Structure formats: C-alpha cells, structure tokens
Amino acid sequence: MNEVNKSLSLWLFLYLILLNQGVTAQDFKAEIKSELEDLQVFKNRCQAQWPGCRLLLIQEQEKTEPIVMRVGFSTPLITWGPLSHFGLARMVLNPLGYSPGSTVFTESSDFRLDCSFGGGSRRGCIIEPLPDRLGLFLWEGEGLPLKVGAFVELRPVSRLQLESIYLTGGAIRAESHSDQWFGYRAPFAGGRFHHLGGRVSWQTPLLHIYSSLAACGGELLMPGYFVNIDLRLQNRFFPLELLMGCCSVDYFTPDGEIIDDWLRFGAESEYCLSGAAVISLTYQRKVLHGLHGRRYLPGWESLGFSAEKEFKTGQEATITVESAATGKIDYDQYGKSEQSITLKTAVELSNAGRELAGCFSGEWGEEELPEKKFYLKGSRRSENSFLALEWRTCVKEAASHSLLLEIEVKGPSQPGSTTAGSRRFYLKGGIENLPAEEWRFLMTGPFPFADCSIKIGWEAEN
C-alpha cells in the first residue's frame, strides 16, 4: 500500500506541475486511470494534452517488486517514449501479412506516441525538422538492438505522393542451423544489416495505386527484397481492390526474423445496393517458400462472401442482418490439401436506446473438430443508466458457457461533475468453469478549476 500511495502522490505532483505552466483550462486536458489486475499487478496511466503536445506517464508494479515506469511525450518537433509504427515502418516487419484494402498501404510511414495502457513493446525517439515530411528516429524493441533511421515524404503534385524509409541497426545473433539436409535458404550468419524502402502513391478520381518496395542487405547476408502493389478501383457500379505481393527467400525483417511468405495476391469487391444493402466478395492466395525443384509449394487460398442489409421500421427501429461464409484450402509441400469452411450469421435490432443482437458462427475442417459459437446480447441505455445482459456458448471438444451482466448508474454530484458506478458479473461453465467478477467506479469533475476535468477509473477482476 505504501507503493500505491507513492504512485498516487507522483500523479498529483505531475498534475500540479502542469497547472503552473501557464496553460489555460480551455486548452488543457488531463486523464488519470488506475487498474488492479488479478489483485497482484497495479497499473497507473496519466495523460496530459494541450494543443500540439501530449505527455504520457505509465507505472506498473507487481506485488512487492519495484515500480516499472515508462514516460513519453509528443510535440510537433520531438516525440519520445513508447512508439507505434505505420506504413512502410510496419510493412518491413511483415511484408505479405496484409489483406486487400488494408490501411497499411495508405497510411503515412512514420512513428507516433503509443498511448495504449500497455505502453507498447517498442520505444524510441523521433525528431521531425519538417513535421509529417522529414524525420529521424531511434527505435528499440524489447531484447533487440537499437535501430536508427530516417523517413521522408514528398508531394510533388497534388495526386502524387512519394515516401521513403531507411533504417540500420546493431548486430543480431546468428540463426541456429536447421536439421534438414537441404534447405531452401542459407542460414543467417548474424551481423549488422540495413533496410531501404520506398512507396509511390498515385490517386485519381477512379483509380488509386500504391506501390511499395523495400530491400535488405548487410554483412555476410544475401540481398533480399519485397514488392507490394495495391490497386483500388473507385467505381460506383463495380468497386475493386487488388493486391499483389512478392517476397524473396533472402529477406529478413529488421528484427532478424525469417519470412516464409513468397507470393500473395488477392481481390476484394464491395458493392452497395439500393436500400442500405452491402455485399462483398474476397479471394486470397498465399504461397510459401519451399525447396527448389518440388512440384508442390505450401500455402493456402480462401474465398469469402458477406452480405449485410439494414431495414428501417416504424418508431425509429432498425434491423441489421449480416451473413458471411469463407472457404479455405491449406496446401503442404507434398501436394496434400485440407479444406475448411467458416459460416457466420448475425442479427441486430435497435430502437431508442434498446439493442438486441444475436450471432452464430461455426468452423468445420477435415482434420479438426468443428467449432461452433453463439452469443445473444440485450442492452438498454438511458440518460443516467445502462443495463446489458450477454450469453456466450462455445462448442468444440466440450461446451463452454459464459454469462455477463453489466449495470451502470450515474448522476450529478455537484455542478459540473458526475459520479458513476458500474458492476459486471461473469458466470462461466463448461471447460473454463471459473467464476469471475469485475467492478468499476468512475468519477469526473472540474478539479481544481472550471473547464478542466479529470477522469479517475479503477478496474479489478478476481
């Protein structure tokens, strides 16, 4: 408890410091959240935000262990702390791991402060002499050597966007040798290596083209590369998204990981019908690297279909019906295949704060036992209360059930502030057979002056 008091005192100290920096109440926002996990791990997160700047402080303590602290801040020029990566910075870690229409092909290639409660597994520092155009970064993952690099973004004309990223890092340990007599790639001998990537984006009213290319090389390492081309046809009658990607056998990620993917291509089309109806069709094919000279290459292909329809009834009631089916075939290097199919049906009814939703999904395969899931949820929300009841069932080797009841009531405690309390009950049976309970108390209010609210939350599960 002494450590908990120290943590709370630190939050209050930080907040009081910020209050004396001349920041107006209208521009300043602060949030404090504390969480107790399994009655053993105590976590705190504090965020302070004002125009163009953000400050993040996260603390974590398990039982009597020392407090682990993570601090970060973000300004238009400098960002330091836990980082999230986007665009090419995300693609170099998993070149062929994205489906047609993924945001990774369109988002800018940069790094941003990760304000999630976990704080992110990668830390670093970013200096942007030209915000959103030119940046230098230091990037470090847990247990991995430090990486340095730069990213740049240019817009020569209104429809053309050019991006590039370069990163190099410290030496990575050599890869352990395989037990196979003949391998389809030379083992990684270890050492320092570099990555250089670029992307060209061209957008017209009818066609969007995103072409990405990256290469790696280094000491005692054969050069590797990957290429991704994403085409999006913006057609009212037949919209289409196409993806084609290729990754060489000698490509290694900046973390030194091997990529088994060789080829990936797919297509997705989503068509909006009259009367608030949407149908979509998706096809994907992935081929993995295999031994040279073999007739069959491992991989998989899938074909999916989904449809969604919204019905408007009287008294502002809405009924939404969704149905989806996906078939998948997995291939091994000996020509054998395994087929599976996944089906999903969902219905949702909403009317003036009341909702009733039900969903059934099932997966059937040739080798594995079928898995079926069902859930039913009903809820009602008013100005000062919320009530929800949810039932879930999963059947595979045996049946597993869970029941969730959530109640929330709130009301004004004084002018400009509110107090709310909620309680969740979990009743589980079948495989899990573990009772659980969660409760939360939330208080918001103008402290210590008007127009500046602090949110204090506490969550526990046992």
Evaluate whether 219 touches 205 at the Cβ level (below 8 Å).
Answer: no
pLDDT band at 176 (very low <50, low <70, confident <90, very high): low
Which pLDDT belongs to residue 310? 87
Asked if the bond preceding 448 is cis, omega within 30° of 0, the reply is: yes
Evaluate whether 57 touches 222 at the Cβ level (below 8 Å).
Answer: no
Which pLDDT belongs to residue 96? 93
**Residue holding tokens 């597993």?**
400
DSSP per-residue letters across 290-358 = --TT-S---EEEEEEEEEEEEEE-STTEEEEEEEEEEEEEEE-TTS-EEEEEEEEEEEEEEETTEEEEE
CA 430 to chain centre: 31
Domain ranges for the chain? 1-74, 77-172+191-258, 264-368, 382-462
- 181 φ, ψ to 5°? -70, -40
Alpha-helical (H) ranges within 76-229 are 88-91
For the segment 26-73, what is each residue's pLDDT rounded down to a tens digit?
566 666 666 665 556 777 777 777 777 888 888 777 777 777 777 888
CA-closest candidate to residue 109, choices 128, 81, 82: 128
Q: Which residues contact 259 (CB under 8 A, 6 or more apart)?
A: 94, 95, 96, 226, 247, 251, 252, 253
Alpha-helical (H) ranges within 1-42 are 2-19
What CA–CA distance (Å, rounded) separates 267 from 82? 35
For the segment 326-348, what is each residue's pLDDT rounded down to a tens digit?
999 998 877 788 899 999 999 99
pTM of the entire predicted model:
0.72
Evaluate whether 247 touches 215 at the Cβ level (below 8 Å).
Answer: no
Q: Average pLDDT of the chain?
A: 76
The Cα-based distances of 265 to 94, 228, 233, 301, 403 in angstroms read 15, 9, 16, 10, 41
For the segment 2-12, what is each residue's pLDDT rounded down to a tens digit?
444 444 445 54
Q: How many CA atoms lie within 13 A of 53 on its CB side?
A: 9
